[in-house]
Amino acid sequence: MISRRAALKTLAGLPLVSLLPAQERTPPSPLLPERLQPGDKVGLINPAGRIDKRETLKDIEDTLRDLKLVPVRGNHLRDQYGYLAGTDADRAEDIHRFFRDESVKALLAARGGWGCNRLLPLLDYDLIRSHPKIVLGYSDITSLLVALHARTGLVTFHGPVGISTWNAFTRYYVQKVLFEGRAVTFRNDHPAPVKEPGLTDFQVITPGTARGRLWGGNCSVLSALIGTGYLPDPTDTILFLEEVEEEPYRIDRMLTQFKLAGILDKLAGFIWGQCTRCEAEHPDRSLSLADLMQDHIAPLGIPAFSGFLTGHIENKFTLPIGLPVTLEADRGRVTLLQPAVR
């Protein structure tokens, strides 16, 4: 007779650690990938939604070439399986292929959509841990980024996907973080000689300064991972969230889930990014996003601000998942305490 735990492990076909809540696991030390250099190969993956327009891939490849990088297409990049970019096994295999290939230095998601959560039980985390590489994306790619960090310690990057607007602002932070390995300060007023429209002011929720590992991404994607074992331990961390096309009552529901799961109470700091097209259908009967910050975040008493330039917007930071940072809520700034690449 085998134990219940052994039976669960056998039935799931997963490493046992994936079944444990985050608080029962010891967070691994940050594992830094190598920095990008001109001439490096970048593997194009599509772990979520399908690509519909044939010209999109050429645009993505042109963007990488402008950065002096060499694009390499995943074998299943153009596959389609309903709304997904191919079967789960094939999308996972493209990820494995590029982690096995020593000549490929980074993986860039072509787009978001939906589907990364389905891949998490299929990934070979030992392979990924033994071949640390840059993984870049946002939106649905959030679950891939946080799961890779939680399970391997790999520092991953919440930033543009292939079909994003790679304007001067976005490229600046890709260059500083991924190529130059600078311990940069992320700030909405943007210190570089790069001026882009659409820069927004931040709003202080609770003043103060905090330090901790940075993690986060899309609010709905992360809330769907609560209790799965694929989130990092939130204790003394700094969480950033963003969203798109969700009404305030849905944001309220997600933040309530974070609260009931005990995650918010463990944080050292909090950042709300951009919520694009999140207006209420009936504003006269709705709470505002500012109301939600006061209801859910202000009572925590931790340094927190909103309006950070991360999310479904043109001007994007490239934020390292799992790296220690300092948050200055009064100034709306986040500063890396070390380079994110080696």
CATH code, domain with 227: 3.50.30.60
Residues 6+ apart with CB under 8 A from 260: none
Is 60 in the same domain as 189? no
d(CA 8, CA 3): 9
* Closest C-alpha to 59, from 50, 71, 42, 68: 71
Residue 33 lies in a domain: no
- Provide the residue-wise pLDDT of the chain in tens; the chain has 342 residues: 344 344 433 334 433 333 344 444 445 579 999 999 999 999 999 999 999 876 689 999 999 999 999 999 999 999 999 999 999 999 999 999 999 999 999 999 999 999 999 999 999 999 999 999 999 999 999 999 999 999 999 999 999 999 999 999 999 999 999 999 999 999 987 655 455 555 668 999 999 999 999 999 999 999 999 999 999 999 999 999 999 999 999 999 999 999 999 999 999 999 999 999 999 889 889 999 999 999 999 999 999 999 999 999 999 999 999 999 999 999 999 999 999 999
Taking the mean position of all CA atoms in its chain, how far away is CA 107?
Answer: 13
Residue length of the chain: 342
Name the token pair of 84.
């997904």
Cα first-last separation, the chain: 48
Pairing relation of β-strands 324-328 and 209-218? Answer: antiparallel
d(CA 200, CA 189): 8
Domains in the chain, number: 2
In degrees, rounded to 5, the angle at the alpha carbon of residue 80 between the alpha carbons of residues 78 and 83 is: 125
Is 153 in the same domain as 203? no
Domain that holds residue 261: 185-336
Residue positions annotated with a catalytic role: 139, 242, 312
Specify the residue for token string 């967070």.
27
Specify the residue for token string 């990088």.
69
179, 214, 235 — which closes off a domain? 179
* Closest C-alpha to 188, from 264, 246, 272: 272
Is 167 in the same domain as 226? no
Is 72 in the same domain as 147? yes
Is 122 in the same domain as 207? no
Residue 47 lies in a domain: yes
Residue 4 lies in a domain: no
Is 154 in the same domain as 240? no
H helices present in 131-246, as ranges: 142-152, 168-174, 219-223
124, 150, 179 — which closes off a domain? 179
d(CA 8, CA 18): 11
How far CA 45 is from CA of 72, 75, 120, 340, in Å, comes to 9, 9, 15, 22
Is 110 in the same domain as 172? yes
CATH of the domain at 106: 3.40.50.10740
